[in-house]
A and B are shown apart, each in its own frame.
Chain A
Amino acid sequence: MTNSWTDIRNTDLVVIMGGNAAEAHPCGFKWVTEAKANRGAKLIVVDPRYTRSASVSDFYAPIRQGTDIAFLLGLINYCIQNDKIQWDYVKAFTNASYVVKEGFAYNDGLFTGYDEGKRDYDRSTWEYEIGPDGFAVVDESLQNPRCVWNLLKAHVATYTPEMVERICGTPKDKFLKVAEMISECSSPTKTMTSMYALGWTQHSKGSQNIRAMAMLQLLLGNIGVRGGGMNALRGHSNIQGLTDIGLMSNLIPGYLNIPVEREADFATYMSSRTFKPLRPNQTSYWQNYKKFFVSFQKVMWGDAATPQNDFAYQFLPKLDVPAYDVLRYFEMMHQGKVNGYFCQGFNPLLAFPNRQKITESLSRLKWLVTMDPLETETSRFWENHGEYNDVNPASIQTEVIQLPATCFAEDEGALVNSGRWLQWHWAGGSPPGEAKHDTWIMAQIHRRLRALYEKEGGAFPDPILNLTWNYRDPDEPSPEELAKEMNGYAVETLYDPADPTKVVTEKGKQVVNFSVLRDDGTTACACWIYSGCFNEAGNNMARRDNTDPDDTGAYPNWSFSWPLNRRILYNRASADLQGNPWDPSRKLIAWDGTKWSGYDVPDIAPNAKPDMVGPFIMNQEGVSRLFARGLMREGPFPVHYEPFEAPIANVVAPKIRGNPVARIFQSDVAQFATSEEFPYAATSYRLTEHFHYWTKHNRVNASLQPEFFVEISEQLAAEKGIAHGSWVRVWSKRGQVKAKAVVTKRIKPLICDGKPVHVVGIPLHWGFMGRARKGWGPNSLTPFVGDANIETPEYKAFLVNIEPTTAPATV
């Protein structure tokens, strides 16, 4: 989230698209209710189903899953055509006026530079024209035909209300009503918030779904303001934290990168990370990259990271592929290239696409280690549960080691909520049996492996033997010690560069925040964006002052919000070029002639002049990007691409199947279905009574929603002879499930490109372990393909068939 849950109270219009907050985030949805009740805010819901959120909306519009980009570009087109743009904001705070290189073009669904064989682009034309002064060329009059504004206007012109109806199945009058309501928020004193979740991310073009809405929000001037923003409703309690801390193949904490093979040495690695400003006077904050990177290396390897060895640069692995994400890795496992695998609090057998492939992959491992508070289907993937897990244990040679871990109630530490608040919590109960904290388990694995390397030697033991391990109890590092490493500390006494007699931080003390980090090895910090969370003032994540001056929704002294306790990202953009709030009733920060101050920590240097320094300080331009340059793999603007399994051909680019740059493994191609074989458009979702595959272990939740079902329309039920409550078989080209049919008015057939499209809804909470009745989930059916930029699987749009059947045999 750019904003926070409690900030939603400040909005005028909530758009829930790509999510269902009332169902999946009920207590956060309360702030939508507050905005409606206290400000007269309106709620729009756009979804294939008439959801719980839709049931309390002011306006609902149906949409076919996987067509959000067409809808959103249609909204952008509407705003441009009807001059519903916050012009002062767009001219000053976006790259609308930037001139794009000669040679850039878009035709038939593809941008310049496409290589069909590689399924990739040469992105060299997707750049600004650079002037003789070394800066990007801009045309503030917006007359240049190659300026971003004119390119955008031409790009979205295809997406007329008629085209939106044809692709999305949204009736034109409903689309126009949504467009009209949204376009009103182009006023500087009206604000809209976007609340989205996995309904947008779980597509082969998920990143571009989100980008399309971000572009719309910029055109309306809604980023950086109270009640606005792009608000990802993250699904798990610390999925934000795990992302921030970079537990991914290619990440270092704080969104730094693991080197790739061509970055043979540290100098080469840094050469593409100088982040020189692209316009005069701009902040381009990533210019500090080296400070954050070196401080990370120091926290990892301490005295073994020296200027002489490039701060142990070679201790890090180098990647030969963009990332070993889970789809790539299960493909490798399937090919027999993986020997061992750890699952810490994760249930891939149910959570990953194409369950048959996952079962086969796990069966080819030599060993699997699971760490979890609960029994998971993954740790028992080898166990026969009749139809529900039809495997032969004798034929599965995988050794499985199942380790019992504690749950939240027995553990202490911080979780990062959707709004980037690091909230500390305390343990209140004793673990059952011999269950142990994950920190203890990880420490044991490290200590025992280290001891083997000390005793026996072996392959490149240096990064293991030199790993910083100076904890009071080496067998179980305490949460406080680990949090302090993330905040960072001074390795040597730090002096003020402007006045060398002045001490900034004494050796060994916690740094105040990331502003004092250095690139010479005198500071150590594990996760720079968290720096400030546990400094010499104490554990700021444990703060519990819930006062909220002037009721802005900021709660500045409650826990700690990254970065620097900032509650709304890009908050400089809430004020105009003179530094006055666009909307005085929604003031966040303001310029008093010499500095910025207000209700939030300014997202700009406190003395940065408002007419000189742009608000988007992480970008080299200082402005936001309507045109993404070469940073997105599909193109600098979003394009409507159909899901890999779609009920109709792509209307705007009929020859293109799916996302033209999404990675596809050869072994999966034969398993992508056509609408001739599998005519119905399926999607997956959560229910409010359940949390993924955990709550089926709970008596109460298993009673509230005991049994797997699928939802279909009355029309489809009539066509297929399916009675409400009867058993159906739903199958895709990858597998099948049996479920009770819920025949509902909440789903209605859509007319797309002249053809009726039936939607099948599949909730995801059942398996073969726990208290609830045994069942299946959507991932027995879903396709093994991910988003082109980040490889999130396409769970939300795929094709199935359905027929009446009989009850499964009970086991």
Chain B
Amino acid sequence: MNMELSRRGFLKAAGVGVAGTTLGAFGFSELEAAQAAAVRPFKLTNTMETRNTCPYCSVACGIIMYSKGDLRKGETAEIVHIEGDADHPTNRGTLCPKGAALKDFVKAETRLKYPMIRKPGSDRFERVSWDQALDRIARLLKDDRDANFIATNQAGVPVNRWTTVGFLAASATTNETAWLTYKVVRSTGIVAFDNQARV
């Protein structure tokens, strides 16, 4: 990877150098300086590389994300470029029109940033804090579970299920998120538990 970066960087620098030198010989040294200043520095210089996989279909192409800032050092990291991972055995660096535009998903204007609540009958969302949102959810869950939990059936057999609240899980979260979601949901007795694989 680094090999390719330096090759690209080298070509760009060399091109500028040749033009500048020729012009310089004719007494245009100021132009040379101006042109050198106008050349955009290679955008992946000093970026962090992180291996990931495309979140769309299940070919699961390998990708490399380039970010400014290093998450592992506790810094804020901004992703500036995403490309195919040439070392990945399935995609060997290629990406489709979706994978090639992944950065646009990460930086979409419609990414959600804050918890919101829409009150009954309202025509808008209002921003709330995480504590407000989560305490509200916990209270809604607790009250509904206590009111509607079915401990036994008519024959007196323990059935311990809760049917009035349901949970629809995703299809692009990690296994680890899936497992934690499973634990939390299953422990409540929720039986209306499903995920995108259904459809």
Decide if B146 touches A27 in the complex (CB within 8 Å): no
Interface segment, one of B2-10, B23-31, B37-45, B48-56: B48-56
Cβ-defined partner of A464 (8 Å) among B65, B187, B192: B187
A103 proximal to B (CB < 8 A): no
Please, which residues of chain A bring their CB within 8 A of the CB of B54? 237, 408
Interface segment, one of A134-142, A228-236, A629-637: A228-236
Please, which residues of chain A bring their CB within 8 A of the CB of B56? 236-237, 691, 694-695
CB distance from B46 to the nearest CB of A (A): 15
A792 proximal to B (CB < 8 A): yes
Please, which residues of chain B bring their CB within 8 A of the CB of A416? 58, 175
Please, which residues of chain A bring their CB within 8 A of the CB of B108? 374, 697-699, 770-771
Decide if A429 touches B117 in the complex (CB within 8 Å): no
Decide if B138 touches A448 in the complex (CB within 8 Å): yes
B36 proximal to A (CB < 8 A): no
Known contacts A375-B112, A482-B180, A695-B105, then 17 further A-B pairs from the complex at CB < 8 Å, ordered by chain A residue: A6-B89, A237-B58, A245-B175, A316-B160, A317-B160, A319-B191, A339-B144, A374-B112, A397-B121, A409-B82, A425-B52, A441-B134, A445-B137, A483-B175, A526-B179, A698-B104, A701-B101
How far does the alpha carbon of A47 sit from the alpha carbon of B126 in the complex, in Å? 47
Please, which residues of chain A bring their CB within 8 A of the CB of B76? 430
Cβ-defined partner of A314 (8 Å) among B57, B158, B170: B158
B73 proximal to A (CB < 8 A): no
Known: A324-B194, A329-B194, A456-B142. A417 touches B177 (CB 8 A): no
Please, which residues of chain A bring their CB within 8 A of the CB of B112? 372-375, 402-405, 432-433, 435
Please, which residues of chain B bring their CB within 8 A of the CB of A558? 89
Decide if A415 touches B53 in the complex (CB within 8 Å): yes
Known: A253-B182, A403-B133, A460-B189. A698 touches B58 (CB 8 A): no
- Give the size of the chain A interface in residues (CB under 8 angstroms): 161
Decide if B177 touches A555 in the complex (CB within 8 Å): no
Looking across the interface, which residue of chain B has its beta carbon closest to that of A333?
A: B166
Please, which residues of chain B bring their CB within 8 A of the CB of A804? none
Known: A340-B144, A459-B151, A694-B105. A237 touches B57 (CB 8 A): yes
Known: A407-B55, A690-B98. A417 touches B175 (CB 8 A): no
CB distance from A105 to the nearest CB of B (A): 34
How far does the alpha carbon of A319 sit from the alpha carbon of B153 in the complex, in Å? 11
A477 proximal to B (CB < 8 A): yes
How far does the alpha carbon of A332 sit from the alpha carbon of B61 in the complex, in Å? 39
Decide if A701 touches B104 in the complex (CB within 8 Å): yes
- Give the size of the chain B interface in residues (CB under 8 angstroms): 120
Please, which residues of chain A bring their CB within 8 A of the CB of B52? 408-409, 425-426, 428
Decide if B174 touches A479 in the complex (CB within 8 Å): yes
Please, which residues of chain B bring their CB within 8 A of the CB of A428? 48, 50, 52, 65-67, 71, 77, 79
10 closest cross-chain pairs (CB), A and B: A433-B113, A413-B174, A345-B170, A428-B50, A404-B112, A448-B138, A417-B60, A700-B101, A236-B171, A317-B161
Looking across the interface, which residue of chain A has its beta carbon closest to that of B159?
A: A318
Please, which residues of chain B bring their CB within 8 A of the CB of A24? 57
A427 proximal to B (CB < 8 A): yes
Please, which residues of chain B bring their CB within 8 A of the CB of A241? 174-175, 178
Cβ-defined partner of A417 (8 Å) among B90, B163, B199: B90
Interface class of chain B by DSSP: mixed
Cβ-defined partner of A402 (8 Å) among B125, B130, B138, B188: B125
Please, which residues of chain A bring their CB within 8 A of the CB of B69? 430
Cβ-defined partner of A458 (8 Å) among B87, B146, B178: B146
Interface segment, one of A112-120, A166-174, A346-354, A514-522: A346-354
Cβ-defined partner of A434 (8 Å) among B119, B130, B136: B130
A444 proximal to B (CB < 8 A): yes
Known: A253-B182, A316-B186, A449-B141. A235 touches B97 (CB 8 A): no
Looking across the interface, which residue of chain B has its beta carbon closest to that of A404?
A: B112
CB distance from B113 to the nearest CB of A (A): 3
Looking across the interface, which residue of chain B has its beta carbon closest to that of A299?
A: B183
What are the interface flags for A684-714 relative to B under an 8 Å C-beta threshold, 1 for contact and 0 otherwise? 0000111100110111110010000000000
Decide if A429 touches B106 in the complex (CB within 8 Å): yes
B96 proximal to A (CB < 8 A): yes
Can you report 20 A-B residue pairs in the complex whose CB atoms are below 8 A from each other? A30-B92, A244-B175, A249-B194, A253-B182, A316-B160, A324-B166, A324-B194, A345-B196, A397-B121, A402-B118, A412-B176, A416-B175, A442-B177, A451-B138, A453-B142, A477-B180, A479-B176, A548-B89, A699-B108, A771-B109
Which one of A315, A340, A407, A688 has the highest number of Cβ atoms from chain B below 10 Å of its Cβ?
A340
How far does the alpha carbon of A396 sit from the alpha carbon of B65 in the complex, in Å? 42
How far does the alpha carbon of A558 sit from the alpha carbon of B67 in the complex, in Å? 25
What are the interface flags for A379-405 relative to B under an 8 Å C-beta threshold, 1 for contact and 0 otherwise? 000111000000001111111111111
Decide if A27 touches B59 in the complex (CB within 8 Å): yes
Cβ-defined partner of B180 (8 Å) among A384, A439, A530: A439
Please, which residues of chain B bring their CB within 8 A of the CB of A315? 160, 187
How far does the alpha carbon of A372 sit from the alpha carbon of B188 in the complex, in Å? 22
How far does the alpha carbon of A485 sit from the alpha carbon of B167 in the complex, in Å? 22
CB distance from A557 to the nearest CB of B (A): 10
Which one of A316, A405, A442 has the highest number of Cβ atoms from chain B below 10 Å of its Cβ?
A442
Chain A, 473-495, CB within 8 A of any chain B CB: 477, 479, 482-483, 485-486
CB distance from B75 to the nearest CB of A (A): 8
Chain B, 76-101, CB within 8 A of any chain A CB: 76-79, 82, 87-92, 94-101
Please, which residues of chain B bring their CB within 8 A of the CB of A452? 138-139, 142
Looking across the interface, which residue of chain B has its beta carbon closest to that of A701?
A: B101
How far does the alpha carbon of A242 sit from the alpha carbon of B59 in the complex, in Å? 16
Decide if A247 touches B169 in the complex (CB within 8 Å): yes
Decide if B110 touches A375 in the complex (CB within 8 Å): yes
A793 proximal to B (CB < 8 A): yes
How far does the alpha carbon of A560 sit from the alpha carbon of B171 in the complex, in Å? 20
Which one of B78, B111, B138 has the highest number of Cβ atoms from chain A below 10 Å of its Cβ?
B111
A130 proximal to B (CB < 8 A): no
Please, which residues of chain B bring their CB within 8 A of the CB of A546? 87-89
How far does the alpha carbon of A245 sit from the alpha carbon of B174 in the complex, in Å? 11
Please, which residues of chain A bring their CB within 8 A of the CB of B180? 438-439, 442-443, 477, 482
CB distance from B123 to the nearest CB of A (A): 4
Known: A236-B196, A527-B179. A433 touches B141 (CB 8 A): no
Please, which residues of chain B bring their CB within 8 A of the CB of A544? 51, 87
A325 proximal to B (CB < 8 A): yes
Decide if B174 touches A344 in the complex (CB within 8 Å): no
Looking across the interface, which residue of chain B has its beta carbon closest to that of A201?
A: B199
Decide if A418 touches B78 in the complex (CB within 8 Å): no
Looking across the interface, which residue of chain B has its beta carbon closest to that of A541?
A: B175
Decide if B121 touches A394 in the complex (CB within 8 Å): yes
Please, which residues of chain B bring their CB within 8 A of the CB of A318? 153, 157-161
Decide if B123 touches A384 in the complex (CB within 8 Å): yes
What are the interface flags for A669-697 relative to B under an 8 Å C-beta threshold, 1 for contact and 0 otherwise? 00000000000000000001111001101
Decide if A393 touches B123 in the complex (CB within 8 Å): yes
What are the interface flags for A233-266 relative to B under an 8 Å C-beta threshold, 1 for contact and 0 otherwise? 1111111111111111100010000100100100
How far does the alpha carbon of A444 sit from the alpha carbon of B130 in the complex, in Å? 10
Which one of B100, B157, B169, B189 has the highest number of Cβ atoms from chain A below 10 Å of its Cβ?
B169
Decide if A408 touches B55 in the complex (CB within 8 Å): yes
How far does the alpha carbon of A441 sit from the alpha carbon of B170 in the complex, in Å? 14
What are the interface flags for A277-320 relative to B under an 8 Å C-beta threshold, 1 for contact and 0 otherwise? 00000000000000000000000100000000000001111111
Which one of B115, B135, B138, B175 has the highest number of Cβ atoms from chain A below 10 Å of its Cβ?
B175
Known: A345-B172, A367-B140, A401-B117. A338 touches B165 (CB 8 A): yes
